Amino acid sequence: MSIFIEKDTRVLIQGITGSEGSFWTKHILGIGTNVVAGVTPGKKGQKVEGISVYNTVREAVAETQPDASVLFVPPKFAKDAVFEALDAGIRKVVVIAEGIPVHDALQMRKAAMNEKAMVVGGNTSGVITPGVAMMGIFPYWIDRVYKQGNIGIMTRSGSLTNEVTAMVIKAGFGVSSLMGVGGDSVPCTRFAEFLPLYEKDTATQAVVMIGELGGTMEEEVAEAMEAGIFTKPLVAFIGGRTAPVGKKMGHAGAIVSGGQGTVAGKIEALEKAGALVADRPSATGELLKEILKK
């Protein structure tokens, strides 16, 4: 079982004929994802990896009934692409693009909440249920790092995701559902909003959170744990612990404001709520063993 994408989820790829869309379509299909259609305006009638291309999402929905959509479109077109998917009735959307204008991201999040939809991203590697399906840009050697199992992973980082997940696998575990929240300053779905899904998921025994300096998403997870919204074991690794205090960072989400968003503050809040926090990625697997024994 997955919290987002299953073997029978019917996936649409928006921007399928572009260089990124066509490249990743091959890999998305390669692990068994049920891709039913693609969309690129003006390209109707073409095929990418055997997948039919339509001009609009509405055309694709009418012909193929997709349940979810992954977007390979430039940041300035992401909002329109998300709105088009939502207007056509799709309620699961993954947005890969990095650097979406903040005002656009705010509108995307609001629209998703109004439609009771889940939009994941932007600036995300995507989502994956290992061995089943994926919507995103996970590496071609995916089968060596992402093994099936019962550990949920939610992450703000791209590169750290591969490293931490490898440590989880090395410790003898596997992954149930991995959700890439994304690294931009306004993610359309936040960490704490995934927790009720992991809580209900019988395939998830524990969750690993890969957080970062800046923002308040990790503190929100601690609050959800304190409130009893999430009761399963949680292990975290927070990136940016060696960043100089007061240093301006290049990452869009790495904003420390009003005393919130520091690595030390995140660690304190999480440990108080009962989570274990790794001091380095390689410790994540061993902490999972420790917390599951309890």
Please write down the HEC assignment for all residues of 129-165.
Answer: ECCCEEEECCCCCHHHHCCEEEEEEEECCCHHHHHHH
| Residues with a known catalytic role | 251
pTM: 0.92
> Which ranges of 66-137 does DSSP label H, i.e. alpha helix?
75-87, 102-114
pLDDT at 254: 52
Q: How far is CA 258 from the centre of its chain?
A: 27
Name every residue whose Cβ is closer than 8 Å to that of residue 273 and which is 6 or more positions away in sequence.
221, 222, 223, 225, 226
**At 243, is the pLDDT very low, low, confident or very high (cuts 50, 70, 90)?**
low
**At 261, is the pLDDT very low, low, confident or very high (cuts 50, 70, 90)?**
confident
| Average pLDDT for 7-26 | 97
> Which ranges of the chain does DSSP label H, i.e. alpha helix?
19-30, 57-64, 75-87, 102-114, 142-145, 159-170, 191-200, 217-226, 263-273, 284-293
**At 260, is the pLDDT very low, low, confident or very high (cuts 50, 70, 90)?**
low
Q: For the packed helices 75-87 and 102-114, what is the interaxial angle rounded to 10 degrees?
A: 10
Quick check: 2 pLDDT over 90?
A: no
The two structure tokens encoding residue 286: 């061993």
| Average pLDDT for 242-260 | 53
Which residue from 151, 146, 148, 178 is spatially nearest to 288, judged by alpha carbons? 151
pLDDT in tens, 32-49: 999 999 999 999 999 999
Place of tokens 């989502």: 127
**Single-letter residue type at 100:** I
Higher-pLDDT residue of 55 and 243 is 55
In Å, what is the CA distance from 177 to each residue of 3, 102, 133, 274? 6, 27, 10, 22
Q: 1-123 sits in which CATH class?
A: alpha beta
What is the overall mean pLDDT for the chain? 92
Q: Which fold has domain 147-294?
A: Rossmann fold (3.40.50)
pLDDT at 294: 81
> Among positive and negative, which fits the CA dihedral 191, 197, 200, 204?
negative
Name the strands in the sheet holding 35-39, side by side, starting at the edge strand that comes first in the sequence. Answer: 47-48, 51-54, 35-39, 11-14, 68-71, 92-95, 118-121
Give dist(CA 23, CA 4) in Å, integer: 23
Q: Where are the domains of the chain?
A: 1-123, 147-294
**End-to-end C-alpha distance for the chain, whole angstroms:** 25
pLDDT in tens, 156-193: 988 899 999 999 999 999 999 999 999 998 999 999 99
Domain pair 1-123 / 147-294, same fold: yes
Quick check: 105 pLDDT over 90?
A: yes
Quick check: 81 pLDDT over 70?
A: yes
